[in-house]
Structure 1
Amino acid sequence: MLLPILLLSAAGFTVLTTEFVIVGLLPSIARDLDVSIPQAGLLVTLFAFTVAAFGPFLTAYFSRFERRRLFITILVMFGLANTLAALAPNIGVMAIARLLPALGLPVFWALASETAVDIVGPDYAGRAIEKIGFGIVCATVFGIPVGTLISDAWGWRSAFAILAGVAMIKALLLWCYLPATRLHLEQVSLRSQFGILRRPLMIGHVLLSILVFCGMFTAYTYLADILERLAGFNGTVVGWCLMGFGAVGLIGNSLGGRMVDRHPLIASMVFCAFMIGGMVALVPSIHSILGLAAALGVWGVTQAALFLVSHVRLMKAAPHAPAFAASLNIAGGNLGIGLGAMVGGRVIDNLGLGSLGFAAAGFILLSILLALALMGAKSRTVYA
């Protein structure tokens, strides 16, 4: 039972690295394609908004397909898209290369999560998705920073070329070792799945994911630029900083998997509160090695935890349609990512890089207030 989850986790590493590797490559891409950093940041927005716009619909439709073939097809598509990114001559072609995998990511992530929960049962959903999340966190620990180091050594195009090859290898591994999955006999209708959006509490949960991810990516999208321009680090040092940021995320992934099974909303508030501290402390500590390490550490732990907590929180809120609920979290989270990249770009243009942490913390504070409101609304519903 463990091997299929580990294979999906390894595939998830490639899928999420494809989305987020660009964070560490933005300065190089902007220079090579002759655009500004905020303009290059719109590539993050494009990917995220595509996921948000199409994710729930694609997941609801493809949930009826046999999972092994579907996952392999998605990974092949990622391989081809990353090849196109490696060859992109301008920002327009690069945008197309980012658009294609954005269509496959929500389908893979939501259905891989549902498959993992099917294996272990709903009572251990957090722990099962923690294992899937391990691949996601490893994308942050190794994928994003290694991509930055590769870019510094051989150019950003090499990072996408290597990622294309890895995607094809993962597709081959799934073809060889992932067993064909049994289709659910009791398919939930599309109408029933979309019907959960009529519940105010569900809308509140989706809005919470939007706010959390908007806060995260208002600053995280431009973290490499912060470390280059404000701390004065070169590309190699930035890569190692991003690796450290992701490495502590393994702690957050483990903590999040345990806390979310007990109380999803409390887990959200706790991690959001600590994230505010890390974000606000980053720039004031930028020239102190210990201070910078502490701020990045707190931020890295909480960011990884909130990826998992948000995902499981939505799945637990709609147990009869967990894959669709997961797709709503992915859609809401990516809408937040896209908005955050846009807001961060505007903050840089108008207030400067040093203000990003405070702007991001404002969205996270709103997330805490919304989580409190959802707890109150849930209590009233239970006792009504």
Structure 2
Amino acid sequence: MLLPILLLAAAGFTVLTTEFVIVGLLPGIARDLAVSVPQAGLLVTLFAFTVACFGPFLTAWCARFERKRLFVGILLLFAACNALAAIAPNIYVMGLARLLPALGLPVFWSLASETAVDIVGPAYAGRAISKISFGVVCATVFGIPVGTLVGDALGWRAAFALLAVLALAKALLLHLYLPRTPRHNQATSLRGQFGILRSRLLQGHVLLSVLVFSGMFTVYTYLADILERLAGFDGARVGWYLMGFGAVGLIGNSLGGRAVDRHPLLASAGFCALMLVGLIALVPSIHSTYGLIGALAIWGATQAALFLVSHVRLIKAAPQAPAFAASLNIAGGNLGIGLGAIIGGRVIDSVGLAGLGYAAAVLIGAAVLLALGLMRMRGPTATS
């Protein structure tokens, strides 16, 4: 049953590239739509906060539907919205083209993860989801840089047109080859799914995701600026470093998939502790080629691992409603992305780019302490 999981990974590549590709296209969008770059940047905030606000509720409601039809429908929605973005005449239409797929992303990611677990069994949840997460990593390694290159060569509209074609093609592949999976009986009960929110342990898991993603994106949002202004790299060299940063994430994705199956919270604490090393070493090693590569490699690998670990951690924390739990992680993660960008901006304004790594390290350090605290809530034999 490897093919269905690979197809879901390929679809995830398109879904996540749609969310993040806009970062490299903002200058061109701003020029063509006659707005400032900060105004165009609100399209990023719109997407992230829409996911955070509506993701859990939409996932709980959509869990009642048959998975194959739902996934095909979401990919068709992404195809239509990317096509709309490609022809958007103004920022308002572009905003609509970003809002609608933001509603579909958490539903797809949460239920695709649940479907993968259904296929392989809960004992191998981490490894199955790591295969789907491979599409996420590839979106970072290849999707975003390639989208930016297409935008530079043919214009930003061509990048969205290409994504529309890819989404349509993957909708067809899912229609042809994805098997039908049974719906979970408890998924039809909205009350049953929202009931898990009463758990203090689950609330702690969601807060942990917010802290982890806030820490990561406090500095990752401005990594290109750090490499240009502090390291003195030109645009081409920055691009190669960013691609390398994503490439080491393939290693982290594999390690995270194995570690989270053994002990989710310990994996969270361990990868966060390793990330601290990379974040703290970033600025001091900025003018040392090998030192900088080492710091970025540690950071990139642990960041990719934590994407996966956080996702599986929530699923295992609420096995009675795994898709809804996954949507809570996605909501918390996107809230963290938005908060991290805001925090990073404030740090730049107050102490400069050199302070970003240390500010992020404070948040990640708090995540380590919270993960250890959640382990004590469950006792020494905790596995989630």
TM-score with structure 2 length normalisation?
0.92
Mean Cα deviation higher: 198-207 or 365-374 = 365-374
Q: What secondary structure does 2:379 align onto?
A: helix
Matched to 2:45, the amino acid is T
Partner residue, 1:270:
270
Partner residue, 2:69:
69
Partner residue, 2:14:
14
- Structure 2: distance between partners of 1:363 and 1:174: 39
Q: How does 1:39-58 map to 2 (within 5 A)?
A: 39-58=39-58
Matched to 2:359, the amino acid is A
- Distance verdict in 2 for CA 1:40–1:300, change over 3 Å: farther
Aligned 8 A contact 2:231 2:287 in 1:
yes
Q: Deviations over 1:67-94 (max 9, x none)?
A: 1111111111112222233334444443
Matched, 1:372 2:372: yes
Aligned 8 A contact 1:45 1:339 in 2:
no
Mean Cα deviation higher: 212-221 or 290-299 = 290-299
- Distance verdict in 2 for CA 1:22–1:16, change over 3 Å: same
- Distance verdict in 2 for CA 1:109–1:297, change over 3 Å: same
Partner residue, 1:198:
198
Q: Deviations over 1:293-334 (max 9, x none)?
A: 222211110111000000010011011111111111111111
Report the Cα offset of residue 257 of structure 1: 0.5
Report the Cα offset of residue 373 of structure 1: 1.2
Aligned 8 A contact 1:45 1:342 in 2:
no
Partner residue, 2:143:
143
Q: How does 1:68-87 map to 2 (within 5 A)?
A: 68-87=68-87
Report the Cα offset of residue 230 of structure 1: 3.3
Report the Cα offset of residue 186 of structure 1: 5.1
Q: What secondary structure does 1:284 align onto?
A: coil
- Structure 2: distance between partners of 1:281 and 1:256: 22
Report the Cα offset of residue 369 of structure 1: 1.2
Q: Deviations over 1:211-249 (max 9, x none)?
A: 101111112122233333333434433332221111110
Identity of aligned residues (%): 75
Q: What secondary structure does 1:285 align onto?
A: coil
Matched, 1:160 2:160: yes
Matched, 1:224 2:235: no
- Distance verdict in 2 for CA 1:322–1:314, change over 3 Å: same
Aligned 8 A contact 2:63 2:188 in 1:
no
Q: Deviations over 1:27-51 (max 9, x none)?
A: 5545665666555443322211111
Q: What secondary structure does 2:24 align onto?
A: helix
Partner residue, 1:294:
294
Mean Cα deviation higher: 262-271 or 154-163 = 154-163
- Structure 2: distance between partners of 1:349 and 1:96: 31
Partner residue, 2:319:
319
Q: Deviations over 1:75-123 (max 9, x none)?
A: 1111222223333444444332221111000000000000000011111
Mean Cα deviation higher: 320-329 or 233-242 = 233-242
Aligned 8 A contact 2:268 2:368 in 1:
yes
Aligned 8 A contact 2:187 2:193 in 1:
no
- Structure 2: distance between partners of 1:303 and 1:52: 20
Report the Cα offset of residue 356 of structure 1: 2.0
Matched to 1:332, the amino acid is G
Partner residue, 2:330:
330
Partner residue, 2:171:
171
- Distance verdict in 2 for CA 1:230–1:80, change over 3 Å: farther
- Structure 2: distance between partners of 1:242 and 1:31: 25
- Distance verdict in 2 for CA 1:329–1:103, change over 3 Å: same
Matched to 1:128, the amino acid is A
- Structure 1: distance between partners of 2:87 and 2:283: 36
Compute the RMSD of aligned alpha carbons.
2.2
Partner residue, 1:113:
113
Aligned 8 A contact 2:264 2:309 in 1:
yes
Aligned 8 A contact 2:187 2:321 in 1:
no
Mean Cα deviation higher: 306-315 or 219-228 = 219-228
Partner residue, 1:59:
59
Partner residue, 2:254:
254
- Structure 2: distance between partners of 1:221 and 1:37: 15
Matched to 1:76, the amino acid is L
- Structure 2: distance between partners of 1:300 and 1:147: 20
Mean Cα deviation higher: 318-327 or 336-345 = 336-345
Partner residue, 2:303:
303
Task: Identify unmatched segments of 5+ residues in structure 1.
Answer: none
Q: Deviations over 1:122-144 (max 9, x none)?
A: 11111111111111111112112
Aligned length: 382
Partner residue, 2:213:
213
